[in-house]
Homo-oligomer: A and B are copies of this chain.
Amino acid sequence: MLLAAGQLREHRLKVTPQRLAIFHMLSNTKSHPSAEMIYNSLRETHPTMSLATVYKTLDALVKASLIQQINVGEDAFRYDANTDSHPHIICTHCHQVYDLETDELPDLKALVAEKTHFRLSHEQLYFYGTCPDCQSEIH
């Protein structure tokens, strides 16, 4: 992937097959996978890659602001190639994590900054419930 390689180079990160695979996989999914999920999904194509490498790569990508780490309240962190600080909605039944379009919600940052006098850097908004698919499945 030329694009990914360029982005890595810009941050003075060496372009390795492992990094390309992880970054590429994250860029082409909407599933917000955990480190373990990434590791398992790349096992077929990269059978020698270790879980430690997945963690080190994710750490490098987060530090370079090429991906973001999110914490939906499960045991493990999830990763997202969309680096905007956008709200997520999580199905507590199937554990899928979906994006919410930012423009669908009012901007709270300015309001909170005004009320609290904090200098705000980012926010994390999570909504939990049952997704439409799981709702019909339960019935």
How many identical chains are in the complex? 2
| Main secondary structure on A side of the interface with B | mixed
Q: Across the interface, which residues of B come within 8 angstroms of A129, CB to CB?
A: 113, 118-122
Q: Across the interface, which residues of B come within 8 angstroms of A45, CB to CB?
A: none
Q: Across the interface, which residues of B come within 8 angstroms of A53, CB to CB?
A: none
Mask of A95-121 contacts with B, CB within 8 angstroms, 1/0: 000101000111011011101111111
Mask of A4-24 contacts with B, CB within 8 angstroms, 1/0: 000000000000000000000
Query: For the complex, is A25 an interface residue (Cβ under 8 Å from B)?
Result: no
**Which residue in B91, B104, B115 is a CB contact (below 8 Å) of A111?**
B104
Query: For the complex, is A55 an interface residue (Cβ under 8 Å from B)?
Result: no
Nearest Cβ in chain B — how far from A41, in angstroms?
Answer: 24
Q: A135 vs B120: C-alpha distance in the bound complex, in angstroms?
A: 11
Using CB atoms and an 8 Å cutoff, list the residues of chain A in contact with chain B: 71, 73, 87, 89, 91-92, 98, 100, 104-106, 108-109, 111-113, 115-132, 135
Please list 20 pairs of residues, one from A and one from B, whose beta carbons are closer than 8 Å in the complex, sorted by A's number: A91-B118, A92-B121, A104-B111, A112-B127, A113-B129, A116-B127, A116-B132, A118-B127, A118-B131, A119-B130, A120-B127, A121-B128, A121-B130, A122-B128, A123-B125, A123-B126, A123-B127, A124-B124, A124-B125, A125-B125
